[in-house]
Structure 1
Amino acid sequence: MPTLNPLAARFERSFDADIRSKFFRGLDFAGPEGDPGWFGPDSAVWYVHSHLPCLVMGLVGAAYIEGLDPSISWMGYDHTRLAERDENGVPTGNVDPEGAAVRLAHSVSFFIGTAYGSTETAEKLARTVRAMHHTVKGTRPDGLAYDADDPEWLRWNYATVVWGLATAHERYHRKPLRGDDLERYYREFVRVGEALGGTDLPATKGEVADCLESYLPKLALTPIKAYATGPNLKGNGVKPWEPGSAYFDWAARDMLPEWAAKLCLYRPPNQAVLRFRRSALWFALNAVHDGTGPIKEFRQARARVAGGTRAPVASTAPTAPDPVRTREEVEALA
């Protein structure tokens, strides 16, 4: 491995302490030799996911639009630490910054692991996420049941994620994929959705856009979502570069399709301010990437396939039902 510059070495130490040591446990990127994983070094996925700052921005945007589904809002409220609560368990109306950071770190681990990990690592991550989804079931306050294994939910979830990652890449990557190369990313990424149990998934940029808009009659800005967006985040004390900050929230809303922006009452600033904000974010994301370079997992994957690869596995769709596990058993897998 090449010697890292001081900034990259410092970043790696921080990433190792805060994320890698907690959320990358048991994931193999260095071997077995020649294993391409799910995609391989010539894939669009390897290129897109190698820019970690854009990947994070894409996940923030995906989480925002995903939460416009009321069932998703209540899944997060009932089954994650996203909602801040007082000592009696009553929600305060704020996002729990630590809970948001944990959720983001798990997502980073998943999308780095499925891109660059060995085939077994990618499959392990998919099994773990599927197992967690199996435990997310409940009833909304309006009496409607929700189930994270619902094919319609899986399709919505998939479309929001690939939209977020591809949109952030197009807007903020220094050298983004365009045209047929970008379409290849959409086609390749389908195998991630299939590995999580999704079916009938959109496989082009246009299909993803149509899929998202088709859910509009089911979407709403629930109280949970409203408390955690826009002016309600001003003065919450979260640093601009951390999950739950007003700046990250603006950047996510600014990525939204027009219909979604209208749903959440997003009004962009004047053109001069808008250009400045987007340019500043573009510069910041690329400066971080240029200064730190691809993370260790990417470098390990490159070394793993330096001598050539075999063909990736033909399909990532589950071939048999998963074992039934409790939430405690699932968390022990992660």
Structure 2
Amino acid sequence: MMDKRVPPLEQLRRRIAGEVVSLFNDRSRGEAPVIRRPAESWFGPDSVTWGVHGDVTAMMVGGVASLLLQMLHPKVLAGVWDHSNFRADMHGRLRRTARFIATTTYAAESDAQAAIARVRAIHAKVSGTLPDGTPYVADDPRLLAWVHVTETWSFLAASLRYGRKRLSAAEQDRYFAEMARVGHALGADPVPTDRRGAEALIATMRPELRVDERTREVSRLVLEQRPKNPLAQPAQALVMQAGVDLLPGWARSMQGLGGGTTLGAPLVRAGTLGVARTLRWAFG
């Protein structure tokens, strides 16, 4: 029911913010948004990481791109395919990933360390073999490095394209240096500490990447995600296309998304910038 004491524009602002918050927090499990702890967090409000991760649109776009990149590594794909229920609950997986990032970015150091410990405990139990018989383990430092570098590269790329603040080359390097703390804590090795190092690591690992029917199935599930509220579905579809558009050309080609987006890159980017401005207004 609408509260007549609250101006209509303010009601709209609250409704938009509430819808976005619900995407990242499972109310059925009593999850509340992660509380920012400036004095106790790993990074703090003066860090580049706080700024990059604080832009909701850029994080959503970067999250889509990072998942599509990560699943190109057959061992990473196998770990997810064999040991999770992502096919039945892709939104849940996306939500848990977003919550992990929020916790390690903004929460108290003790909460960040607890989140890291939970992830490492899960990884320690994940192992198996690829369809060709090659063994894999989820806590392989090189696989963790691939997950880490694709995630940080994607978030920074999305921030550069859709974020509020222009980042200098030095600030971009500082972002990778700051996020190296999370990579090391997860057990990744090697962990890049600047943009050149991140792009070099991605290039080094490209010969290991593959695409098969399982890769395409994961991509389809990611890109077909839709919020329950039909009013939010056009914006969500735009974010998904922006994630595809953010991918390097070689990754789009591997995924069979070589044509980019259905709307064309200029329209997708303009529309996504509009979504970004709306969400910044909604969150003040």
Same fold (TM over 0.5): yes
**Equivalent position of 2:25 in the other structure:** 19
What SS is found at the alignment partner of 1:124? helix
Query: In 2 relative to 1, CA 269–75 (structure 1 residues): closer, same or farther, beyond 3 Å?
Result: closer
**Equivalent position of 1:62 in the other structure:** 66
Matched, 1:29 2:35: yes
**Per-residue deviation at 1:265?**
3.3
- The one of the two structures with greater contact order (alpha-carbon pairs below 8 A, sep at least 6) is 1
Query: In 2 relative to 1, CA 189–7 (structure 1 residues): closer, same or farther, beyond 3 Å?
Result: farther
Structure 1 range deviating more: 190-199 or 246-255: 246-255
Q: Distance in 2 between matches of 1:237 and 1:279?
A: 21
Matched, 1:128 2:118: yes
**Per-residue deviation at 1:47?**
1.0
Q: Which of the residues 164, 182, 185 maps onto 1:192?
A: 182
Provide the TM-score with structure 2 as the length reference.
0.83
**Per-residue deviation at 1:53?**
2.2
Letter in 1 for 2:44: G
Query: In 2 relative to 1, CA 263–28 (structure 1 residues): closer, same or farther, beyond 3 Å?
Result: closer
**Per-residue deviation at 1:237?**
8.5
Q: Which of the residues 161, 179, 184 maps onto 1:171?
A: 161
Matched, 1:114 2:118: no
Cα RMSD after superposing both structures: 3.2
Q: Which of the residues 39, 45, 50 maps onto 2:49?
A: 45
Matched, 1:76 2:85: no
**Equivalent position of 2:194 in the other structure:** 204
Q: Distance in 2 between matches of 1:268 and 1:5?
A: 40
Query: In 2 relative to 1, CA 72–30 (structure 1 residues): closer, same or farther, beyond 3 Å?
Result: closer
Q: Deviations over 1:142-174 (max 9, x none)?
A: 111111111110111111110111111111113
Q: Distance in 2 between matches of 1:120 and 1:7?
A: 36
Query: In 2 relative to 1, CA 39–159 (structure 1 residues): closer, same or farther, beyond 3 Å?
Result: same
**Equivalent position of 1:251 in the other structure:** 242
User: What fraction of aligned residue pairs are identical, expressed as a percent?
Assistant: 26
Query: In 2 relative to 1, CA 19–27 (structure 1 residues): closer, same or farther, beyond 3 Å?
Result: closer
Q: Which of the residues 266, 271, 281 maps onto 1:275?
A: 266
Structure 1 range deviating more: 214-223 or 284-293: 284-293
**Equivalent position of 1:264 in the other structure:** 255
Q: Distance in 2 between matches of 1:175 and 1:17?
A: 24
Structure 1 range deviating more: 9-18 or 221-230: 9-18
Q: Distance in 2 between matches of 1:177 and 1:54?
A: 14
Q: Distance in 1 between matches of 2:248 and 2:260?
A: 16
Structure 1 range deviating more: 21-30 or 110-119: 21-30
Give yes or no for contact 1:24–1:109 (8 Å, CA) kept in 2. Answer: no
Unpaired runs of 5+ residues, structure 1, are: 84-95, 294-334
The structure where helix makes up a greater share of residues is 2
**Equivalent position of 1:6 in the other structure:** 11
Q: Distance in 2 between matches of 1:152 and 1:247?
A: 33
Q: Which of the residues 140, 144, 148 maps onto 1:158?
A: 148
**Per-residue deviation at 1:5?**
4.0
**Equivalent position of 2:205 in the other structure:** 215
Give yes or no for contact 2:50–2:106 (8 Å, CA) kept in 1. Answer: yes
Q: Distance in 1 between matches of 2:11 and 2:24?
A: 18
Give yes or no for contact 2:90–2:222 (8 Å, CA) kept in 1. Answer: no
**Equivalent position of 1:287 in the other structure:** 278
Give yes or no for contact 1:23–1:105 (8 Å, CA) kept in 2. Answer: no
Provide the TM-score with structure 1 as the length reference.
0.71
**Equivalent position of 2:3 in the other structure:** none
Give yes or no for contact 1:114–1:121 (8 Å, CA) kept in 2. Answer: yes
Query: In 2 relative to 1, CA 186–250 (structure 1 residues): closer, same or farther, beyond 3 Å?
Result: same
Q: Distance in 1 between matches of 2:173 and 2:186?
A: 21
Query: In 2 relative to 1, CA 156–30 (structure 1 residues): closer, same or farther, beyond 3 Å?
Result: closer
Query: In 2 relative to 1, CA 138–182 (structure 1 residues): closer, same or farther, beyond 3 Å?
Result: same
Query: In 2 relative to 1, CA 128–27 (structure 1 residues): closer, same or farther, beyond 3 Å?
Result: farther
Query: In 2 relative to 1, CA 108–8 (structure 1 residues): closer, same or farther, beyond 3 Å?
Result: farther
Q: Distance in 2 between matches of 1:23 and 1:193?
A: 28
Q: Distance in 2 between matches of 1:23 and 1:209?
A: 38
- Report the count of equivalent residues: 271
Q: Distance in 2 between matches of 1:247 and 1:133?
A: 33
**Per-residue deviation at 1:189?**
0.7
